[in-house]
Amino acid sequence: MADSKAYQSLTQTFQRLHRFNHLASIAHWDSETMMPAKGHAARADALAEISVYTHQLITSPELKRWLDEAEQDDLNEAQRANLREMRREWSKENLLPAELVQAKSLAAAHCEHAWRSQRPANDWQGFLPNLKEVVRLAREEASHLAAAQGGSRYDALLGQYEPGMGSGDIARLFDDVKSWLPDLISRAMDKQSRETVLQPQGPFPIETQRLLGLDAMRLLGFDFDGGRLDISAHPFCGGVPEDVRITTRYNEQEFVSSLMGVVHETGHARYEQGLPRDLLSQPVGRARSMGIHESQSLSFEMQLGGSRAFAGLLSPLVRRHFGELPAFEADNLVKLFTRVKPDFIRVDADELTYPAHVILRFEIERALIDGEIEAEDIPSLWDEKMMAYLGVDTRGNYRNGCMQDSHWAISLLGYFPCYSLGAMYAAQYFAAMRRQNPQLDAQIAAGALSPVFSWLGDKIWSQGSRWQTDELVTRATGETLNPAYYRAHLEARYLG
């Protein structure tokens, strides 16, 4: 079937957008890893300029005409899906004034750059003015979107990361988790208190940790001809599918957080590297949602990474780099990887307390965007919820409290729920894998990870955004998101 002239014009425009976004992504990565401090202002201006230019491209009058004409054409299923995703992007961008797009980009760049030094200094008062400007612009953006789409301002921002999911849906899922999670944490900690765990003694040199991380990435099938590992203040996966950049951070006193951070980001990277190569320049070829993206990183970090079978594969790598010590045996490693201890830092949190970190952020940012609280109220709410959910006192500790993440600084407001959605999806994937392949865990223990990668590649990676989220998950697992699998997974791992 020949593409229509209108559809061809659309694909050419979105290919141009993809290429500009490619450059912007690499520039963002460089600004967080390699760029000298004095390059910040010029880089922020350049990225804002690109954001305005791409906004102008996607809001050009011709695009609306091409979209309408292509709707009347005899397109195949993949083209229809691409057209659906094109219209979704076009609709969002056409609701936003160009000057708002530019102002938001600049405000986020300035806030994040200042956050890098303000966080170590515990400087909430210095951080607050920049954050208030980010929040003001996020509310303005959300107002434009909500006015056209319906729902709350927070729903509008959430929908950019998790299309089809509303804040009411998230709240119901999280309220259910809150009803059983505290008891599960208590019972798991009681069970673990009777176990013997050997704590590895540092220091663990950064270069050795880096080499261990690279070995873990090889084990997990990362394509080093299409990506690399670097250091940043906050771990992330960036770049583009053709050139994936992942980062971690190191602490010479312990190696587990860096290692598992690399495992986590490699899950993101494998998703990007596994997207349909012939469609990468088109919206249909992109990752479906951030919840689905987080489901890939958590499939690697939690479903695989926290398992006894995978610990058996990591143990030889750890011993090769740090020595033949009992603490590095597989049985002890899995205890280290699954140790439950309520603490300050989300990215270092164990699998069981992690949802509480996400829930409190969701509740705060939802109230913030919907105007129920102001940025000045964040620390007291943070302190209250950390104590209520995890029994952790964060009063006055902004560095390890409400300033610990870069997300709000860079205006990723509405993103946090995706982490726990991802954990739920990941548990559902592995339940489906085990139904289809009862020998899965034995295969993993024997070093055969290809059944996991093949399943994810076939069911998730290669599909891109061909299907809307519910249909994607149903096609993969036989049903839409069912959080019962997540609870069952946690109970089996921590109480079994």
Given this model, what pLDDT does residue 3 score? 61
Long-range (24+ apart) CB contacts under 8 A made by 394-397 are 394/344, 396/122, 397/122, 397/344
Active site residues: 265
- Of 77, 94, 111, which marks where a domain is finished? 94
| Number of structural domains found in the chain | 2
- At 330, which CATH number? 1.10.1370.30
One domain, residues 35 and 172: no
| Contact criterion met (CB below 8 Å) for 351 and 338 | yes
77 domain residue, yes or no: yes
Last residue of a domain, one of 52, 67, 94: 94
Q: Is residue 116 part of a domain?
A: no
Name the residue type at position 454: S
The DSSP string of 170-202 is HHHHHHHHHHHHHHHHHHHHHHHTTS--PPPPS
In a domain, 132, yes or no: no
pTM of the model: 0.94
Reading the chain (496 residues) residue by residue, the pLDDT tens digits are: 446 799 999 999 999 999 999 999 999 999 999 999 899 999 999 999 999 999 999 999 999 999 999 999 999 999 999 999 999 999 999 999 989 999 999 999 999 999 999 999 999 999 999 999 999 999 999 999 999 989 999 999 999 999 999 999 999 999 999 999 999 999 999 999 999 999 999 899 999 999 999 999 999 999 999 999 999 988 899 999 999 999 999 999 999 999 999 999 999 999 999 999 999 999 999 999 999 999 999 999 999 999 999 999 999 999 999 999 999 999 999 999 999 999 999 988 999 999 999 999 999 999 999 999 999 999 999 999 999 999 999 999 999 999 999 999 999 999 999 999 999 999 999 999 999 999 999 999 999 999 999 999 999 999 999 999 999 999 999 999 999 999 999 999 999 8
Same domain, 80 and 184: no
**DSSP state letter for 284:** G
Q: Is residue 392 part of a domain?
A: yes
Query: In the Cβ-directed half-sphere of 237, how many Cα atoms lie within 13 Å?
Result: 26
CA distance 326 to 321: 14
Nearest partner of 434 among 421, 424, 444, judged by Cα: 444
* Partners of 231 in the β-ladder: 248
Are both 173 and 283 inside the same structural domain?
yes
| Domain limit, last residue, from 40, 65, 94 | 94
* Token code pair at residue 161: 């990361």
pLDDT 10s digits, 398-428: 999 999 999 999 999 999 999 999 999 999 9
Angle between helices 417-436 and 354-369 (to 10 degrees): 140
The answer on 350 and 439 residing in a single domain is: yes
DSSP 229: E
Co-location of 401 and 258 in the same domain: yes
Same domain flag for 73 and 189: no
pLDDT tens across 56-75, in order?
999 999 999 999 999 999 99
Residue 122: inside a domain, yes or no? no
For residue 432, the enclosing domain spans 168-495
* Angstrom distance (rounded) from CA 297 to CA 460: 13
Q: What pLDDT does 479 receive? A: 98
Distances 91 to 45, 53, 354 between C-alpha atoms, Å = 26, 17, 35
- The SS3 call for residue 245 is strand
**111, part of any domain:** no
Q: Is residue 275 part of a domain?
A: yes
CB 270 within 8 A of CB 222: yes
- 69 and 203 within one domain: no
- Specify the 3-state DSSP secondary structure of 46: helix
Q: Check residue 357 and give its pLDDT.
A: 98
Residue 109 lies in a domain: no
d(CA 102, CA 93): 12
Residues 283, 465 contacting (CB under 8 angstroms): yes
Length of the chain: 496
pLDDT attached to residue 1:
43
Task: Identify any residues that bridge with 240 across adjacent strands, giving them in sequence order.
Answer: 243
Give CA–CA dist 469/480, Å, rounded: 9
Q: Are residues 57 and 172 in the same domain?
A: no
220 and 368 share one domain: yes
Is the separation of the CB atoms in 344 and 391 below 8 Å? no
Same-domain check for residues 65 and 183? no
For the four alpha carbons of 435, 438, 444 and 445, in that order, the dihedral sign comes to: positive
